[in-house]
Structure 1
Amino acid sequence: MLQFLIKGGWAMVPLLICSLVSLTVIIERLYFFRKTAVNGLAEQIVGLVKNGQPGEAARLSKAAAAPLLNILGVGIEQAGSPVKAMEAAAIAEITLMKRGLPVLDTIITLSPLLGLLGTIIGMISSFQVMTLGSLAQPHAITGGVAEALIATAAGITVAVSTLIPYNYFTARVEKETEVIEYYATRLEVALDTQLLRRET
């Protein structure tokens, strides 16, 4: 592995850093999104509010540190103006869900460019060997070409291995946003129904 990195030239150093950062973000995001599957609890919260038990619903919303439950909890606590309160909470929670995604997006774009830069530098080295009249030393020429190909392959590998999780996380954010809108609307209706019952 170390020989592979050395043969790839100096461009392998930033590519290695990109791959480590990408892996760290991917693991952290996987752990984060594992906590967001709480639709069953959200259903119970809306049901409790419908049945006139907002206190129990508020307690249940604190059962897990999930974005959806946090937003519903804010809506219950701010029953006088739940829509605005949930909108503000949703903005904050969606921002947290997108955390790290710009980093992955940058790595997807940057890695192939670093690989291409390594390719260019490797080819320049090969041409320099040729201009020095070392055509009788094919290993010296092919060494620069090998360096170029290794850097390119590494850059593309890092980009591809980051692209798939990035698209998955982006889709998850969109899905969670839709789920938040759905349950926030249902909670708003339930709170309005309870308010009307109190007034009559």
Structure 2
Amino acid sequence: MIKIFLNGGPVMWPLLICSIITVATALERLFFIVRERVRRKPELVEKILERVEHHDLNGAIKIGNDNRDYVARVLTFALAHRAESFSSAVLRAANLELKKFNRGLAVLDTIVTLAPLLGLLGTVTGMIHAFGLLGGRQLDAPEAITGGISQALIATAFGLSIAIVALIPLNFLNSKLEEARHDIEDAATQLELHLQQCKECKHEGDAK
């Protein structure tokens, strides 16, 4: 394996760096997703919404402060800052939470694009080397010519392999980002409806 790597030419070193970054980023993001899944408590989010529905806003905030569910954090922040601007509070809290899910995606996306290009660069340099030997009439050393072609093929194969490996966690993480966005939007919409009902009930009480 080491011999194959070394035969791939200089471009193999940046490809190696790309592969290390891919594995490290994917593992870190996988740990984050597992941690957030463990912290996810949909039943507590329902309790928060239930308290708001019964006009117990302080109780809802207390429940939110006592758990680490990312949806609950958004709802709690929105409730605590509802007097300023509910929609702005939801947007700010949601952006903070979604930013955590979005971390590392740009890195993987870049590697998906960069790795094949580096492999292509290795292909070009390998072929230039091989045809350079042909142009120099060094036909007495055919292994040098085939070595250049081999270098081209190895670099391309490694570049494509790294891109494929990076693409799998990238798509998985994108799906988790969309799932988190959907959960937050759904809970925030329910919260807004409950708060609107609270205001309507209060107005009806004042009118009486």
RMSD over aligned CA atoms reads 1.9
Q: State the distance in 2 between where 1:95 and 1:25 align.
A: 15
Distance 1:27 1:139, change over 3 A: same
Structure 1 segment 1-200 matched on structure 2, within 5 A: 1-34=1-34, 35-36=36-37, 37-80=40-83, 81-198=85-202, 200=205
Distance 1:56 1:19 in 2: 49
Partners of 1:134 and 1:153 lie apart in 2 by: 27
Instruction: Tell me by how many angstroms 1:64 deviates.
Output: 4.0
Shift of 1:47: 1.7
CA contact (8 A) 1:79 1:191 kept: no
- Partner deviation per Cα, 1:115-161 (whole Å, 9 max, x = no partner): 00001111111112222322232211111111111100000001011
Q: CA deviation at 1:190?
A: 1.9
Identity across matched positions, percent = 37
Q: What CA distance in whole angstroms lies between the structure 1 residues aligned with 2:66 and 2:8?
A: 50
In structure 2, distance between residues paired with 1:40 and 1:16? 45
Hey, what's the Cα distance between the residues in 2 that align with 1:61 and 1:4? 55
How many Å separate the matches in 2 of 1:33 and 1:171?
11
TM-score (structure 1 length as normaliser): 0.90
- Aligned equivalents of 1:66, 1:143: Cα separation in 2: 56
AA in 2 matched with 1:57:
A
1:71 and 1:90 in contact (8 A); partners too: yes
Instruction: In structure 1, list runs of 5 or more residues that go unmatched.
Output: none
Stretches of structure 2 lacking an aligned partner (at least 5 in a row): none
TM-score, normalised on structure 2? 0.86
Mapped to 1, the partners of 2:163 and 2:68 lie a distance apart of: 32
